[in-house]
């Protein structure tokens, strides 16, 4: 989990955060080498460093040397808002080529001072530019890449931009770690990240719901059924594909391909498990019956 450390008081709070965190803590350092050194004394596991904002090779070298002593990993961050002046003059704007060149330049600098325990993130809010910059970098080096669309926007739009940008890169085999960036509760970022990985079959965890669009063939209140099921199953970790189909056209076929599902019809549904019908249930009982059966599967 990344914690922003813009001020001294934030750095001083890190030891308590590290002590109580069940997962590794990364300090997000932008401008101040002094705060970086203070953060490195807290027991954190990693830092995010943006050389374009510090722009002092001597200080960056000192930070890297201290990280090496303490076995602290570094995420080398390059983004469109903090490119070096020389690259802006060369390219005229933060192009994909400029972003990739900056990342390669600083990667070579890190390695030249003997520091190799790092990964790189190249981010911008433009999806196509982001994809191109990461592809250029990945073609030239095998340094691990942390991918994401920065400042992607509110939950709805941002999730779509993230899914497209991150999804394309992952599908092409580019990217080692992922961050979804939304103007929303950070928990939403985690959910979207998992959904992207699940859609690409890179991570199997939790519930995947397959359900119909709201066409004229639906004979039950399907949006309400799906909403209830999704809310109730949010905390289930076991990978399960749940089909909730609203009419007879695709219902049985789709439900057969899922681990469990409902094939809904007129005021009732057939509950399927691994393609085998279990029983017919009423519209009022279908959600409860489905959840009960999933609970039994989760305990198996």
The CATH number assigned to the domain with range 2-147 reads 3.20.20.20
pLDDT tens-digit readout, 93-102 = 999 999 999 9
What is the overall mean pLDDT for the chain?
90
Fold adopted by 208-296: Sulfite Reductase Hemoprotein; domain 1 (3.30.413)
Assign 3-state DSSP to the chain and report helix, strand, coil percentages, each to 5: 45, 20, 35
Evaluate whether 242 touches 226 at the Cβ level (below 8 Å). no
DSSP string, 228-264: HHHHHTTT--S-EEEEEE-STTTHHHHHHHSSEEEEE
pLDDT of residue 178: 95
Can you count the helices (H) and strands (E) in the chain?
Answer: 12, 12
pLDDT tens-digit readout, 66-77 = 999 999 999 999
Evaluate whether 89 touches 63 at the Cβ level (below 8 Å). no
Higher local confidence (pLDDT), 23 or 212? 23
CATH 3.30.413.10 domain extents, the chain: 208-296
CATH 3.20.20.20 domain extents, the chain: 2-147
Q: Is the pTM of this model over 0.85?
A: yes
Tell me how far apart the alpha carbons of residues 27 and 25 are, in angstroms, rounded to a whole number: 7
Type and span of the H or E element at 11: helix 8-20
């Amino acid at each position: 989990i990344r914690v922003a450390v813009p001020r001294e008081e934030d750095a001083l709070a890190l030891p308590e955060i590290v002590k109580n965190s069940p997962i590794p803590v990364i300090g997000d350092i932008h401008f101040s080498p002094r705060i970086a050194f203070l953060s490195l004394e807290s027991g954190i596991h990693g830092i995010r460093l943006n050389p374009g904002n510090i722009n002092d090779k001597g200080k960056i070298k000192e930070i890297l040397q201290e990280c090496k002593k303490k076995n602290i990993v570094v995420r080398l961050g390059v983004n469109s808002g903090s490119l070096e002046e020389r690259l802006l003059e060369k390219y005229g704007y933060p192009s994909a080529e400029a972003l990739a060149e900056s990342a390669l330049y600083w990667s070579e600098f890190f390695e030249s001072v003997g520091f190799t325990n790092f990964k790189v993130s190249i981010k911008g809010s433009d999806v196509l530019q982001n994809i191109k910059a990461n592809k250029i970098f990945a073609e030239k080096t095998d340094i691990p890449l942390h991918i994401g669309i920065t400042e992607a926007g509110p939950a709805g739009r941002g999730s779509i931009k993230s899914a497209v940008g991150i999804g394309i890169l992952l599908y092409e085999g580019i990217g080692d770690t992922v961050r979804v960036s939304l103007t929303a509760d950070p928990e939403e970022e985690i959910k979207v990240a998992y959904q992207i990985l699940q859609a690409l079959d890179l991570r199997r965890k939790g519930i995947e719901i397959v359900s119909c669009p709201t066409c004229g063939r639906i004979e039950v209140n399907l949006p309400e059924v799906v909403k209830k099921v999704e809310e109730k199953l949010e905390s289930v970790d076991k990978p399960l594909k749940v089909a909730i189909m609203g009419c007879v056209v695709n219902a049985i076929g789709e439900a057969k391909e899922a681990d469990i599902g409902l094939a809904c019809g007129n005021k009732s549904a057939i509950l399927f498990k691994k393609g085998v019908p279990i029983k017919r249930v009423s519209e009022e009982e279908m959600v409860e019956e489905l959840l009960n059966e999933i609970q039994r599967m989760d305990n198996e």
